[in-house]
Amino acid sequence: MNTPRTDRTLPTSTRPTSTRPASAAATSTPATSTAPPGAVDRASFLRSGALAVGAGALGVAAAAQPALAAPEPGKGPRGVGPGVDPNPHYKRPRITRLKTVTGPGITTRFRMDATDLGAPAVTPDGRILVIFGDTFEEPAVGGGWWRSPVGLYADPKRKLKHGLEWTGAVGGEVAEELVEYAHDSNPVSTILPGDVLTVGDTMYLWVMVNHGFGNVGSTEIWTSADSGETWERTAQMFPGDHLDGFSQQCTWCLNPEDDHVYLLTTGFQRDKSSILQRVHKDSILDPDAYETWGATGEGEDQQWAWGNPPTPVLHGAIGEMCLRIVEGTWVLTWFNAGLYRVDVAIADTPTGFGEAPFIETLLWGCGWGQEDDERVAQLYGPYVLPGSTLDDLHLLCSQWNTGAGWPYHVQQYRVQGLGTGMRALR
């Protein structure tokens, strides 16, 4: 039995400040771009399952040993029993590796056998649009016709338990780049998606402009007024060192109760905690309209408020995140890079993630050849699919075998009973 994790201790080296400039190291790209001195290539970024860059990251030693399978949920070290169950009424959710949704024979007709990520949203016209990252025609990173981001449409009427079924691509018969640009290292190597959002008749896509892989020069927000069929590239939103580099990777969700979009952001390098921001839905393209959530004072005198300098609400070495409202409840999934796993947190409000949310591990990282339904080698990028419920939650999660070069694909996972378990602890 695995009890919810509530340890949110923050290493001081990952605390954001308003004055220290970002120090993201430039990294190289797949294919032929030239990396600056001291760069880490894209394969190294995910090698050993989860590479958390930076000495302050939690669990780096664990992440560096992917050949060791994660411990059996509810069991301690060898020879040590589980002891007294502190939550006898809690039942761990059932995890099913449901379907591989990209790869040869699946997305070949879109000329995208190799891809990752997969941020989903419901389009204004009611379809499911999933946005992917670095994409190649052949089943290998660097395997021809490199583009990013790209998008595929899925049938919204198909039950999630049967797995996503693609109905078309942004661009027509094949998956075209949402906005065309040159992939080179002077200055842009690739543009990677963070998350996609629908507000009324407009879709917004948060992207990170990489000047060498992992060196985020800036972030942008692209827009679509035709349900994702075409996209307009807007001006730069924030420089890469905005908020000390804690505003690069992003997930966001519209709160219909107050018409604000809430964002959890962190660095791209998987060595930082996450902070909370918000912006009114009518001001998404106004950089000055964004507010940060932060605390002043200490102990009993601590006061949280919007407009304060940001204080981390989710601690550790955070990778890709997905924030959604599911059955009226705020649900956050993320790649816990420091501990090499995918976690979920559930809170009543967007600010509740900094308090005492329900937290559970959904997928455990492991080595290749040690996988099962809930143990996944070199996992990252968990995104919640539209149509999910608390007791039938569906995720898209990426894998990349950086040693063998394949797979580099996205799979769908089904999580059953999460809500039941959560309610048992309340």
* Nearest alpha carbon to residue 94 among 416, 379, 375: 416
pLDDT at 367: 97
pLDDT at 81: 62
- The Cα–Cα gap between 173 and 169 comes to 6
Neighbours of 282 (CB within 10 A): 12
Element (H, E) at 43: helix 42-46
Q: Is the model more confident about 144 or about 13?
A: 144
- Banded model confidence at residue 281, pLDDT cuts 50, 70, 90: very high
Question: Is it the case that residue 423 has pLDDT exceeding 70?
Answer: yes
pLDDT at 83: 75
The answer to whether residues 85 and 1 touch, using CB atoms and an 8 Å cutoff, is: yes
Report the pLDDT averaged over residues 112-116: 98
Question: Is it the case that residue 33 has pLDDT exceeding 50?
Answer: no
Q: Which two tokens stand for residue 35?
A: 């990396």
Just give the CATH number of 44-74+87-424. 2.115.10.20
Task: Write down the mean pLDDT value for the chain.
Answer: 84
Question: Is it the case that residue 77 has pLDDT exceeding 80?
Answer: no
Residues 300-337: pLDDT tens digits? 899 999 999 999 999 999 999 999 999 999 999 999 99
- Banded model confidence at residue 88, pLDDT cuts 50, 70, 90: confident
Question: Whats the size of the chain, residue-wise?
Answer: 426
The DSSP annotation for 105-137 comes to: TTTGGGT-SB--EEEEEE-TTS-EEEEE-SBBS
Residues 212-255: pLDDT tens digits? 888 999 999 999 999 999 999 987 899 999 999 999 999 999 99
Report the pLDDT averaged over residues 361-381: 97
- Residues in contact with 152: Cβ distance below 8 Å, sequence separation at least 6, in sequence order: 107, 110, 112, 129, 130, 132, 166, 168, 169, 170, 175
The answer to whether residues 93 and 2 touch, using CB atoms and an 8 Å cutoff, is: no
Question: Is it the case that residue 424 has pLDDT exceeding 80?
Answer: yes
- The Cα–Cα gap between 292 and 17 comes to 12
- The Cα–Cα gap between 106 and 128 comes to 17
- The Cα–Cα gap between 277 and 264 comes to 6
- Banded model confidence at residue 268, pLDDT cuts 50, 70, 90: very high
The answer to whether residues 248 and 267 touch, using CB atoms and an 8 Å cutoff, is: yes
Q: Which residue has the tokens 């378990």?
A: 421
* Nearest alpha carbon to residue 114 among 102, 106, 105, 125: 102
Question: Is it the case that residue 2 has pLDDT exceeding 80?
Answer: no
The answer to whether residues 205 and 149 touch, using CB atoms and an 8 Å cutoff, is: yes
Question: Is it the case that residue 292 has pLDDT exceeding 50?
Answer: yes
Cα end-to-end distance, the chain, whole Å: 17
* Nearest alpha carbon to residue 275 among 267, 287, 266, 284: 266
Residues 43-68: pLDDT tens digits? 444 443 333 322 223 222 233 333 33
Residues 154-213: pLDDT tens digits? 999 999 999 999 999 999 999 999 999 999 878 899 999 999 999 999 999 999 999 988
* Nearest alpha carbon to residue 122 among 349, 398, 319, 384: 384
The answer to whether residues 66 and 366 touch, using CB atoms and an 8 Å cutoff, is: yes
Q: Mapping DSSP to helix (H, G, I), strand (E, B) and coil, where does residue 261 land? A: strand
Q: What is the 3-state secondary structure (H, E, C) of 171-227?
A: CECCCCCCCCCCCCCCCCCEEEEEEEEEECCEEEEEEEEECCCCCEEEEEEEEECCC
Q: Which two tokens stand for residue 11?
A: 């290493």
